[in-house]
Amino acid sequence: MTLQEIYDHLDRISPFELQEKWDNSGLIVGHRERSVSQIVVSLDIDEEMIAHAKEGTLFIVHHPLIFGKMTQLDLSKYPSNLLEKMILKQQSMIAMHTNFDQTHLNRYVFEKVLGFTPVSQTPFVCTAKGEWHYKELLGLLKEKLNLQTLKTVGRKEHITSIAMTTGAGASLMDEVEADCFLTGDIKYHDAMKAMSEDLMMVDIGHYESERFFAEILLNELKVLPLLAIIANSKNPFHIATI
């Protein structure tokens, strides 16, 4: 298959036009008419993945390798160092970021991973109603997302509504109508704002809440006459023990 044929398939299942204005989903590296030998699906890409993948591989990732303005290609620095290695091996990359959040990722994690029943969903925020106790909810999150620790803002013993956005979604708290908001990368000033508005928040991790991207997308690629495999992206953070 050509890169263009695969791109068109991805666009049908999760239209790239849905991405946010600041995003860079779509074709990142590659020639649209070039044949693809295999597909590797991953949350992110690293040097080891590129080295182990054969020539002509297409990487489909969640996070765009080129993000924001690039004014130079310093091949000793990230992400130019990875781009050079990919180009030398005629490898390609397509990113499915905020478009895939809206069409697949948020609802999948909320419903299939955490077991909540959505009663409403905006483009990025899923909400459920029910009855949860503080310790019960935190135990569920640690188990289902494989979290060793949890950072929380506020404490509500009795919770009747939960909202969630995967990745870094604290900027969406004004859209949340729930007792508790689950998201990753909660900053200090986001936490201060949440406390002042009596919104309980739980930091469920950026990597931990989005690591399901590859398994979701792989299921959508089974109809293609091409081998697609998952490469396990590494969490850049770890819990230090001294």
Name the residue ranges covered by the structural domains of the chain.
Answer: 3-96+212-230, 101-206
Q: Please give the backbone phi and psi of residue 150, each rounded to the nearest 5 degrees, phi first.
A: -135, 135
Total-model pTM: 0.95
**What percentage of residues in the chain have a pLDDT greater than 70?**
100
The residue among 85, 5, 81, 95 whose CA lies nearest residue 42 is 95
| pLDDT given for residue 241 in this prediction | 79
**Looking at domain 3-96+212-230, what is its CATH homologous superfamily?**
NIF3 (NGG1p interacting factor 3)-like (3.40.1390.30)
What does the block give as tokens for 185? 């990368």
Residues 165-183, mean pLDDT to the nearest whole number: 97
Cα separation values, 224 from 1, 46, 94, 105, Å: 9, 25, 16, 21
Domain 101-206: assigned CATH number: 3.40.1390.30
pLDDT digits (tens, 9 = 90+) for 19-59: 999 999 999 999 999 999 999 999 999 999 999 999 999 99
Average pLDDT over all residues of the chain: 96
The residue among 23, 24, 59, 22 whose CA lies nearest residue 44 is 59
